[in-house]
Amino acid sequence: MTSIRSTRGTRWLAAVLLVTLALLSPGASWLGARRAESQPKEFKVGVALSLSGIFSRDANLFKEVYDLWAETVNKAGGIKVKGTGYPVRITYYDDESSPQKSAQLVERLATADNVDLMLAGFGSSIAFAASAVAEKYKYPYISGAASANPLFEKGYKYFFATLNKTFEEVEGAARVFTLAQPRPTRAAVIGSDHLFGKLAAEGFKKFMEEMKIEVVHYEIFPLALTDYNSLLLKVKRANPDLLLVGGLFSHALRVMKATKEVDFSPKGVAFSYGPTVPEFLKEFGKDADGVIAASEWLPTFPFKDPIFGSASQFDQAIQKKYGHPADYVQAAAAGGLVAQQTAIEQLGLQPPLDEKAREALMEQLHKQDVMTVYGRVKFGPDGAIVQKPPIAVQIQQGKFVLVYPRDVSGAQAGKLIYPLAPWRSR
């Protein structure tokens, strides 16, 4: 016991370690999360969200919608139950993009914070872990960005998702190439190595095969890949007409950059997710023209609800508050929020919500069929949304244009740009 003695230096080190420990504590956002446990008559809402780590850019889109929802609802006097308005208050914890941590934090929200409602984290990997805990404590968990098919095969009653299942989600971005002239015959499919990325890649592959387009290269790459150029060069050598990528925003960013660096100009490029994140356009400017993304919503769609107003009003509200257009996962999250709030109002549930109340809420969510800013929200028995038409959008002169299918609830598709100009002439 001689190496660490109670000297001044050791105390110094102890202080440093203490600060470290504090910052390490689950959800370092404790700094900002002020509690007012004793305040009665409000809905305590909890969410474990990836505020840092690999999904943080994507998850921040959720935080924007959750904050907008709380602000809108509270401004209107709160959630109206039997004539009384109950404001909502959201507690955020940072799961650091770790599914295990997300599960721990959901448990903490359920058992220590005793929240009334749980909002969902971003992404299938997170939802996979967190939804199991939400199920255990009987909290409806409605995600606007969890679509991996296996999520719906677990027999959960409390898990809901407003996006189409992953396979269907990329269908539009694959089928859009049936409109391409000259007809593409060869495709390369790559996907990042996590639940959504892999499933999206599998979905792309499946639809290409159905469309009789040969998949000349198929590969899943690791999240920690540092050199995308070697991967994209290999894809280039396979000489595909199309490049289809399963993954999230950061992967879309790296793949786009690498295609330019290795001078690989496929005639068509589609991503399962990424280009609709506002930063994508900011990063690539006119280089992004012609890129196709899977989507499920556009602000031009003729949907509305009593909370957020019309789709275009929702888009404007996001634009005004955060300075960028609304992404489709934001609309999907909003759809889930509206569905949950409608169910609470219909059932007349007053806070605090006990287990029985939450069970009733779950049953109502399974039963009801509501129109929201995101479109119709009706859940099937497995918690998946009754399928929406999968759509594809293309970036054309810095704007997202619907290119597939030809008509979505009255919104008409624009003309597909194909083939794309080679990098050297852009």
Partner 1 sequence: MAVPVELVQTLINGILQGGVYAAAAVGLSLIFGVSGILNAAHGELVMLGAFATYWLVTLYHVDALLTLPLSFALLFAFGWALQYFLLNRTLGRPLLLSLLVTFGVSLILVNVALRLWSGDHRMTRIPYFERSLILGDFIVPLSRVAACVVAVAMVAGLSWLLASTRLGRMIRATAQDGEMARMLGVNPKTIYAITFGLGAGVSGVAGSLVAFYAPVEPNMGLTYTLFAFAVVVLGGLGYTAGVIWGGLTLGVAQALTETYLEAGLSLFVAFVLLYVILTSMPAGIMGRGRLE
DSSP 254-304: HHHHHHHHTT---SEEEESSSTTSHHHHHHHGGGGTT-EEEES--TTS--E
Q: State in angstroms the smallest separation of the CB of 254 from partner 1.
A: 7
The residues, any chain, with a CB within 8 Å of residue 29's CB and separated by 6 or more, are: 51, 92, 93, 94
Q: Which position has the token pair 């779950």?
A: 362
Quick check: 249 binds partner 1 (CB under 8 A)?
Answer: yes
Position among 71, 214, 261, 355 found at the interface with partner 1 (CB under 8 A): 261
Amino acid at 236: K
Nearer to partner 1 among residue 192 and residue 341 (C-beta): 192
Nearer to partner 1 among residue 16 and residue 76 (C-beta): 16
Nearer to partner 1 among residue 67 and residue 283 (C-beta): 283
**Quick one: tokens of 22?**
């504090």
Neighbour count for residue 177 (Cβ, 10 Å)? 25
Candidates 279, 320, 325; CA nearest to 299 is 325
Position among 113, 193, 345, 363 found at the interface with partner 1 (CB under 8 A): 193
Query: What is the per-residue binding string for partner 1 in 53-72, x denoting contact by CB under 8 A?
Result: xx-xx--x------------
For residues 69 and 286, what is the distance between their CA atoms, to the nearest angstrom?
Answer: 33
CA dihedral of 282, 283, 288, 289, whole degrees rounded to 10: 30
Orientation angle between helical segments 56-75 and 328-347, nearest 10 degrees: 40
Position among 26, 30, 52, 324 found at the interface with partner 1 (CB under 8 A): 52
133-141, 160-168, 226-234, 359-367 -> range binding partner 1 (CB under 8 A): 226-234
Nearer to partner 1 among residue 108 and residue 236 (C-beta): 236
Position among 107, 283, 363, 382 found at the interface with partner 1 (CB under 8 A): 283
Quick check: 230 binds partner 1 (CB under 8 A)?
Answer: yes
Q: Tell me the chain's radius of gyration from C-alpha atoms.
A: 23
Q: State in angstroms the smallest separation of the CB of 107 from partner 1.
A: 23
Which residues bind to partner 1, rule: CB under 8 A?
3-4, 9, 12-13, 16-17, 19-20, 23-24, 28, 50-54, 56-57, 60, 193, 219-222, 224-227, 229-231, 233-234, 237, 249-250, 253-254, 257, 260-263, 279, 283
